[in-house]
Structure 1
Amino acid sequence: MRFLHLADLHIGKRVNEFSMIEDQRYILNQILDIVKEQEVQCVLIAGDIYDKAVPSAEAVLLLDQFISRLAEMNVKVVAISGNHDSPERIGFGAEIMSTSGVYMSHPFNGNVEKVTLEDECGPINIYMLPFIKPAVVRPFFQEEDVSSYDRAMEIVINSISINKDERNVLLVHQFVKGGSICESEEVSIGGVDQVSADYFENFDYVGLGHLHGPQTIGRETVRYAGTPLKYSFSEVNHKKSALIFDLKEKGNIEITKIPFKPIRDMKEIKGTYDQITARDFYKDMNTQDYYHITLTDEEDVPEAIGKLRTIYPNIMRLDYDNTRTRTNNAVTEIENIELKSPLELFKEFYVIRNNQDMSPEQEKLVMDLIEKIWEDA
């Protein structure tokens, strides 16, 4: 049987105040084309289907359209909730949808749900384990010491009755030890939410969700699919792709990756204002992509982001890299504040923030503002 492993769709997400709905609609349509072209028989979605526990109406509609198209194509769907999802909302209507071959996880109730599919090699058991934490597991295993995420995972996995002679797939949304993270993910301080991959040894394939970078953990068949789109500039170098695996007879799995082509990529460029606004610099670039631009000018460019958007309309972030920003100043001593004038205090603050003195013109502007404020007080 041919599977497509997806995860972390984050439908409805906003990145730097840009709505990603159009980009998500484009990539989901691309996924539908891949499913058809590659004759995928089952799509696995490993959590974080939505970006928020209470998704927007347009996010719900987009997921509805995507899943309905898969059902129309007679493709099975097995999906679990992630830490961004509401388990109750993901599980709503699960019984009705299962009659169309769409299996949505319920909130965890102490048992790991199983969906069994059949192909020419026999049964394939797909275990659906939505995002869990100790507080969720503890009420169902009161005799156990559910003291950590890792212990919770160990207890839950050990509770599953697995037929090792059959092919078994685990769909799970969790932070597995050894995974590489990026800034768009939610992880706990100190890695307290990490779990060991050792508990997955009896599964032929483990479809992971939670970490946004596609990667393997320990072995080739324990994989994070990663997000289908880049959701932060820490993901600029990620190679997003459709992760397809063929589950043949027991012990025989073939994995294929098909690159995604987003409507807008996420890129970073750096240089002076004059350099990056020169026609020769951007003439061969897709200026409609999402950009993080870093200017290296020593002086701030007035209204820089507005000017740059005439060339790069989808700038998500603008930074400076110069003498001022590279120097980290701190207030080491505050003395005689009462004896200093407001202008003197402002000048000291300016030096701390900018690593340079105010110009005479700036001093005059600030003094005029101070006098006006006092007059109006």
Structure 2
Amino acid sequence: MILLHTSDWHIGRSFHGTGLLESQRAVLDQLVATVRERGVDAVLLAGDVYDRALPPADAVRLLDETLAAIRAAGAAVVMTSGNHDSAVRLGFGGALMEASGVHLRTDPERLAEPILLEGRDGERAAVYGIPYLEPRHLGQEWGVDPHHTPVMQEAVRRIRADLAARRQDPDGGPLASIVLAHLFAAGGQGSEGERDIGEGEHLDCGAEDPEALVGTLGQVPVSVFDGLDYVALGHLHGRQTMAEHVRYSGSPLPYSFGEWQQDKGGWLVHVSGGDVTAVEKVDWPGGRQLAVLSGPTAELLESAEFDWAEDRWVQVTVTDDERPEKALERLRARYPHVLVFRHEPAGGRKEREKTYAQALRDAPSDLALTTGFVHHVRERAATEEETALLDAALSAARVQEVQA
């Protein structure tokens, strides 16, 4: 049996004001091709299916088309809700979709009800879907501390109890345990593309040394999942291995410039004889790629070293001492997809001799005040032409004031 672990599709997301739907369509087409070519039995989608609770119509349409394509390629789907999703909206029609091979787990009360999968050669797996759990609500309802770790421990306890009962069935045969969960695992590498689900406090481990404190209340220790055969995590956008049996697939596309060097894809999980026998990486280089560039403006405009970035979404930092004139306009002539522009002088920003309030008080003339303002705001002195224009504007204003 082969399972495909994916997560964090964030369908409907924009990137610095630019829509990503076509890039998402391209990479999901690659995912479907993997299902078809590798004979995948089930796709495990661990939350953040949409980018927001109320997704736009074209995002809903793309999900519908993708699920239909996965089913047509021969794989079942197990899908949970993440912190970006509306569990109620995503779970609508779940009972009907179950019959078609698309299994939704968006209700915490159903997390111990597995989807029982059987492979082509008789391999069996119990797949448990844990939706994103809001600890403030479920802690009280389940009678545990209202923090991520105790709530997740209770969820896994319920799963273990169901799994143990199923494995005692003498007629059942070997049964692999697969769990989907959407959370921040302690030790995971996050990026700016993820919404914070942490609670901003440290766990009280009884340690005198603050450095001995492990994680935060928003992070869940990987040890919570000990003994399970495979845990398919969602939430963090970088593909990473937390333990041999606990992994993040990462998002199929980069959703922040902090992810620009990450290889995007998923994991193929091989199940045989009731065990996970292998996990292999699969890459999907879909959509427009990213580039993060830095250097003097002249070098960024002229050097062949940056040819590879010309067709990418670009974050560019110019390191000239002064902010170059029309730098963004000139850079876009070479890199038409610049989305983020920054000026950070290589030698660091010079400390201002005076605060703006002091400069305002000490300005010898209105013209000195206005040219000083230009210099202060854009970190480049006004040119002779700009100074003449400001002087003419001030003179016209004085004439108008006298005539009034």
TM-score using structure 1 length: 0.87
Residue 309, structure 1, aligned to residue 332, structure 2: yes
Which residues of 2 match residues 25-40 of structure 1 at below 5 A?
25-40=25-40
> Which is higher, the Rg of structure 1 or of structure 2?
2
Residue 203, structure 1, aligned to residue 228, structure 2: yes
Residue 83, structure 1, aligned to residue 83, structure 2: yes
The separation in 2 between residues aligned to 1:135 and 1:289, in whole angstroms, is 42
Which residues of 2 match residues 151-300 of structure 1 at below 5 A?
151-160=150-159, 161-164=161-164, 165=167, 166-187=175-196, 188=198, 190=200, 191-217=216-242, 219-278=243-302, 280-283=304-307, 285=308, 287-300=310-323
Is this contact kept in 2: 1:324–1:354, CA < 8 A?
Answer: no
Structure 2: stretches of 5+ with no match in the other structure:
168-174, 201-215
Per-residue deviation, residues 71-126 of structure 1 (Å, max 9, x unmatched): 12221000001011110111011111111110112333475442111234553111
Residue 65, structure 1, aligned to residue 70, structure 2: no
Is this contact kept in 2: 1:325–1:354, CA < 8 A?
Answer: no
Per-residue deviation, residues 260-298 of structure 1 (Å, max 9, x unmatched): 222321112233333333374455x26222112222334
Is this contact kept in 2: 1:42–1:78, CA < 8 A?
Answer: yes
The separation in 1 between residues aligned to 2:369 and 2:349, in whole angstroms, is 23
Which residues of 2 match residues 35-184 of structure 1 at below 5 A?
35-109=35-109, 111-119=111-119, 120=121, 122-141=123-142, 144-160=143-159, 161-164=161-164, 165=167, 166-184=175-193
Equivalent in the alignment of 2:203 = none
Partner SS, residue 83 of structure 1: coil
Partner SS, residue 309 of structure 1: helix
The separation in 1 between residues aligned to 2:358 and 2:323, in whole angstroms, is 31
How many aligned residue pairs are there?
373
Residues 50, 328 of structure 1: CA spacing in aligned structure 2 closer, same or farther, 3 A cutoff? farther
Residues 297, 367 of structure 1: CA spacing in aligned structure 2 closer, same or farther, 3 A cutoff? same
Residues 73, 135 of structure 1: CA spacing in aligned structure 2 closer, same or farther, 3 A cutoff? same
Displacement of 1:57 after TM fit? 1.1
Which residues of 2 match residues 5-44 of structure 1 at below 5 A?
5-44=5-44
The separation in 1 between residues aligned to 2:388 and 2:10, in whole angstroms, is 50
Residues 202, 29 of structure 1: CA spacing in aligned structure 2 closer, same or farther, 3 A cutoff? same
Is this contact kept in 1: 2:322–2:379, CA < 8 A?
Answer: no
Q: Which letter does structure 1 place at the counterpart of 2:311? A: Q
Residues 257, 61 of structure 1: CA spacing in aligned structure 2 closer, same or farther, 3 A cutoff? same
Residues 88, 325 of structure 1: CA spacing in aligned structure 2 closer, same or farther, 3 A cutoff? farther
Query: What is the identity percentage for the equivalent residue pairs of Structure 1 and Structure 2?
Result: 29
Displacement of 1:338 after TM fit? 6.3
Q: Which has the higher helix share?
A: 2
The separation in 1 between residues aligned to 2:192 and 2:145, in whole angstroms, is 29
Residues 138, 329 of structure 1: CA spacing in aligned structure 2 closer, same or farther, 3 A cutoff? farther
Residue 322, structure 1, aligned to residue 345, structure 2: yes
Q: Which letter does structure 2 place at the counterpart of 1:35? A: V
The separation in 1 between residues aligned to 2:4 and 2:42, in whole angstroms, is 6
Larger CA deviation: 39-48 vs 234-243: 234-243
Is this contact kept in 2: 1:115–1:125, CA < 8 A?
Answer: yes
Is this contact kept in 1: 2:322–2:380, CA < 8 A?
Answer: no
The separation in 2 between residues aligned to 1:31 and 1:6, in whole angstroms, is 9
Larger CA deviation: 29-38 vs 324-333: 324-333
The separation in 2 between residues aligned to 1:130 and 1:315, in whole angstroms, is 37
Q: Which letter does structure 2 place at the counterpart of 1:277? A: L
Displacement of 1:139 after TM fit? 5.0
TM-score using structure 2 length: 0.82
Displacement of 1:325 after TM fit? 6.0
Partner SS, residue 150 of structure 2: helix
Residues 337, 319 of structure 1: CA spacing in aligned structure 2 closer, same or farther, 3 A cutoff? closer
Displacement of 1:44 after TM fit? 0.3
Q: Which letter does structure 2 place at the counterpart of 1:7? A: S
Per-residue deviation, residues 37-80 of structure 1 (Å, max 9, x unmatched): 11111000000111111111111111111000111222100000
Residues 351, 157 of structure 1: CA spacing in aligned structure 2 closer, same or farther, 3 A cutoff? same
Partner SS, residue 114 of structure 2: strand
Residues 114, 274 of structure 1: CA spacing in aligned structure 2 closer, same or farther, 3 A cutoff? same
User: Where does structure 1 differ by over 6 angstroms across 4 or more consecutive aligned residues?
Assistant: 330-333, 336-339
The separation in 2 between residues aligned to 1:307 and 1:360, in whole angstroms, is 21
The separation in 1 between residues aligned to 2:251 and 2:35, in whole angstroms, is 17
Larger CA deviation: 263-272 vs 344-353: 344-353
Partner SS, residue 223 of structure 2: helix
Q: Which letter does structure 2 place at the counterpart of 1:70? A: I
Residues 304, 334 of structure 1: CA spacing in aligned structure 2 closer, same or farther, 3 A cutoff? closer
